[in-house]
Amino acid sequence: MTLELSPPRFTYDLRASRVAFGPGALRDLGTELAVLGARRVFVVSTKSRLAEVPPMNELLGERFAGVFDEAVEHVPAATVVAAQSALHQADADFCLAIGGGSAIGLGKILARDAGKLLAAVPTTYSGSEMTAVWGMTDVHGKRTGRDPRVAPRIVIYDPDLTLSLSPALSGASGMNAMAHAVEAMYAANASPMALALAEESARLLAASLPRVFANPHDHDARSTALSGAHLAGRALDLAAMGLHHRICHVLGGLFGLPHARTHAAVLPYVLAYNAPAARSAMLRLARSLEAYDSVTAIMHLCRTLGVARPLSELGLRKDDIDRAADEVTASPYANPRPATKEDVRGILLAAFYGDSLT
């Protein structure tokens, strides 16, 4: 079987964003922000991440204007209000998010609503730092959207900051990145640029994550995994996400399931469902994974990384499945294979029990 030819027409925007990548890159943070003209920098993070980096007044000098260290998952509206008040008091012209997708997600909303520029220092493989996608949760559930104002102006990747990620979190976060690459490969609007990014990111992630899991202090594997996550984030930014992201979005927003671990638990089942309608993407993915069958290889990778967990273990109740399937199919989304409520129910049930696909 050969790859289908690329679509005859495509458009995409590449925003101006600077990326600085390398072990120890955090040391250049102050200089990088100065070059961009930052005068007063407001930091968004968590206590645990800030405990792992040098003090902010050391890193930022006089530019350090204040900090909000209570970012939590899914960017709750109440957290946004508290952070906005701290930002206002700090009178800053730049926001800096340090942490995983939760801290970066909060930084995005703050920067957008206050008209500030955003810098990001990611410490997980979520890829959020490379996208113009925002998310926020309130009583109505999780809302997401795309807005160029939330995309960081600069991203500093220091793989040393990921050394503290446990094997379990590394595996889950790495499969979150893999899910971006997979869905970009079968997105109807994927340009040759998005496909190239997705294919290389999947290759880097598949090659490095088992090594990270086996030895979390393997610096080379950490760097490779983070560079794969970086490319996957860019691929996510350039392509519409499909059924997998829709399902995870509903499970996180409505039922509070943990973001990365849910991605890892759901991906093999959506991939198995979409495979017959996405032959070219499956071939591309198999090439990246150096495997014959993509679904088997992804399931195997999840098992190797210890993240092939049933959704029942992640907090989903069987009674929630009907409501989740309703919500997933309530509005249209892009996917190579249409899915009815019954189809989604079937996928969720299989993932709920952790059915074997191989």
Give min distance, CB of 23 to ligand NAD, in A: 14
What is d(CA 248, CA 243) in angstroms, rounded to the nearest whole number?
9
Among 12, 15, 48, 219, binds ligand NAD (CB under 6 A): 48
Does residue 191 interact with ligand NAD by CB under 6 A? no
Does residue 159 interact with ligand NAD by CB under 6 A? no
Half-sphere exposure of residue 109: CA atoms within 13 angstroms, side-chain side? 25
Does residue 164 interact with ligand NAD by CB under 6 A? yes
Does residue 247 interact with ligand NAD by CB under 6 A? no
Residues 6+ apart with CB under 8 A from 77: 136, 137, 138
Interface size with ligand NAD, residues (CB under 6 A): 29
Does residue 133 interact with ligand NAD by CB under 6 A? yes
Dihedral over Cα of 182, 262, 277, 188: its sign? negative
Does residue 260 interact with ligand NAD by CB under 6 A? yes
Nearest to 147 by CA among 105, 119, 86: 105
Q: What angle do CA 10, 14, 17 make, to 5 degrees?
A: 170
Residue type, 4: E
Map tokens 């993070």 to a residue. 45
Map tokens 């997401």 to a residue. 144
Does residue 228 interact with ligand NAD by CB under 6 A? no
Binding span for ligand NAD by CB under 6 A among 8-16, 25-33, 131-139, 309-317:
131-139
Among 29, 38, 44, 46, binds ligand NAD (CB under 6 A): 46
Does residue 208 interact with ligand NAD by CB under 6 A? no
Find out whether 60 and 32 touch, Cβ atoms under 8 Å.
no
Contact residues: ligand NAD, CB under 6 A: 46, 48-49, 73-74, 99-103, 105, 123-124, 126-128, 131, 133, 135, 161-162, 164-165, 169, 173, 176, 236, 259-260
